[in-house]
Amino acid sequence: SGSAGGRTPLSQRATGNLTTTFMYRWRDGRDADLFSPAALQQMCEVENEILRGEHYGEVCFNDPNAAFYTTASGTRCALPRLSAPSLFYVPWQSGGGCASLSPSERLTAEVEEGVACSGGYTGMPTAPFWTDGSHTRKCTLLDEAYVAERAAWLYAAAAEHEGVRDRLGFFLASDALQLNETHASRSSVPLGSPVVGKDGRVVDPWAATLHEDFVEAAKKRLFNKFKMREDRPFWSPWRDSAETADLSIRFLSGAMLQGEFGDLMKTDFFMVIFSILFVLVYMCYHTGCLTLGCLGLLMILLSFPLALFLYVVVFRVRYFAMIHVLAIFIALGVGADDIFVYVNAWRHSRRVATSFEARIAYAHRKTYRAVLATSFTTAVAFFATWVSPVMPVGAFGCFAALAIVMTFALVISFFPAALMIWELRFRRAKCVGCCCPCIGRCALPSVGPEGGGGEAGGGE
């Protein structure tokens, strides 16, 4: 663990969710070895954005077996071992003690511990690369001859020894050993895992909050370095390119992904509100009445709790994720279309029926036949996804199908009843009936209960 002076690192275990992975390629796609002094310097500077975090000493990976580590802020933090710059930013030591080592131990000392068992390299550095009073590396521009000799040794060692190939394969492109150069590389910068109890929960709530805040701050530093803008509405900064002078970079961690998912859900929530308002406005325009438009929207929204009841109580499915909320877009489209079918059938009934009861029967019959066909085929299509081996997809398909079924049930029961009550009781009431007399379709042609044929407020 760390020494005295502040909190010690939280764990000697790295955790994948808090490990940031960087993928490096040439920005212009050039045919050259990515292990060059300029490219390695830029990789080092990028990874320093993680290491220079304010509380890095409290969340770092405290690897007791690390050959190189920093002790700033009174804590012991291992420098990232699975880091492409770590293969070159090495304070080399004399290889005089290598004679007593086995071939495998010599390779380990050369690759991971900075012991020059192979005799050394031209211009190889010997001074430490970490910054005094900090956990970051000194990203100096390395000697070109040193980088070329070191890269050549790495390729030769990986080609000759399977154990070294397994270790170095993480940093090399698939064709690197055939070409003796790599056009892509990657690094992983881990954080220590918060200490958890037997119940799987974080022992210290401070630890979980500290990790979340650190990852969020690191993400913002990387965004600023790559000029990935966060100030544009409905645009994720992850869609911008992350580039340095020579490199094209992709980076991500599990914690960053979770945070981005939450941000996307907030943005999508506004899209849901916009969709609901758009459907409401168009239904009011089509029916010519705010009251009927609101009742139609209420009918669509009621399909959700009814579908959820069938989903949980009848089908006994307990899985419900954010993807299920997307079913609202399906319900809005299908439900609004069903309402338009009923309203059009109700308007047309004036030409074929002379009594109010006959008009209701005609509109109901026409709507039932048309809507049944479309709702049945759509619901079956979503139910078909239930057999998917991907459980979330199957669960979403089941819920979406039930929402469509409930929408159909409501359009042939709830909406006709609402329309009938509106026609008989509220159509001519002030502030409840027709609100846009200037629109030709505003007033739904009405037939009185006794069979009269009047039209209030104009016709079609």
Q: What's phi and psi for 247, nearest 5 deg?
A: -115, 145
Contact 21, 188 (CB under 8 A): yes
Three-state SS at 234: coil
What's the token pair of residue 354? 């002379």
What's the token pair of residue 65? 């077996």
List Cβ neighbours of 64 (8 Å cut-off, separation of 6 or more): 12
Structure confidence at residue 448 (pLDDT): 45
* C-alpha to C-alpha distance for 131 and 143, rounded to whole angstroms: 19
Q: What's phi and psi for 415, nearest 5 deg?
A: -70, -40
pTM of structure: 0.69
Residue with tokens 């911008």: 240
What's the token pair of residue 94? 């004399």
Pairing between strand 77-78 and 115-116? unpaired
Sheet holding 242-243, edge to edge: 184-189, 20-26, 247-252, 242-243
Q: What is the DSSP letter of 423?
A: I
> What is the sign, positive or negative, of the torsion defined by CA atoms of 256, 261, 267, 270?
negative
Contact 146, 121 (CB under 8 A): yes
Question: Angle CA(153)–CA(156)–CA(162) in degrees, nearest 5?
Answer: 120
Structure confidence at residue 196 (pLDDT): 56
Reported in sequence order, the residue ranges of 304-389 that DSSP labels E, i.e. its strands, are none
* C-alpha to C-alpha distance for 454 and 447, rounded to whole angstroms: 6
Strand partners, 69: 78
Tell me the pLDDT of the chain (460 aa) as tens digits. 333 334 444 455 555 568 899 999 999 999 999 999 999 999 999 999 999 998 888 888 887 777 788 888 777 888 888 899 999 998 888 777 787 777 677 777 887 788 888 778 888 888 888 877 888 999 999 999 999 999 999 999 889 888 888 888 999 999 999 999 999 999 999 988 765 555 555 555 556 678 888 999 999 999 999 999 988 877 889 999 999 999 999 999 988 888 887 777 777 778 888 999 999 999 999 888 888 899 999 999 999 999 999 999 999 999 998 889 889 999 999 999 999 999 999 999 989 888 888 999 999 999 998 999 999 999 999 999 988 899 999 999 999 999 999 999 999 999 999 988 888 887 765 545 555 443 444 444 444 444 444 443 333 3
Structure confidence at residue 257 (pLDDT): 86
* C-alpha to C-alpha distance for 303 and 126, rounded to whole angstroms: 71
* C-alpha to C-alpha distance for 228 and 49, rounded to whole angstroms: 14
One-letter identity of residue 435: C
Structure confidence at residue 278 (pLDDT): 94
Alpha carbons within 13 A on the beta-carbon side of 264: 13
Reported in sequence order, the residue ranges of 164-258 that DSSP labels E, i.e. its strands, are 184-189, 242-243, 247-252
CB atoms within 10 A of CB 141: 11
DSSP characters for 235-287?
A: --GGGS-EE-SSEEEEEE-HHHHHHHHHHHHHHHHHHHHHHHHHHHHHHHHHH
* C-alpha to C-alpha distance for 281 and 331, rounded to whole angstroms: 16
Pairing between strand 77-78 and 69-70? antiparallel
Structure confidence at residue 15 (pLDDT): 57
Q: Which helix (H) or strand (E) holds 94?
A: strand 93-94
CB atoms within 10 A of CB 380: 11
Pairing between strand 77-78 and 247-252? unpaired
> What is the end-to-end Cα distance of the chain in Å, rounded?
82
From the list 119, 135, 138, the residue with the least C-alpha distance to 127 is 138
Structure confidence at residue 304 (pLDDT): 93
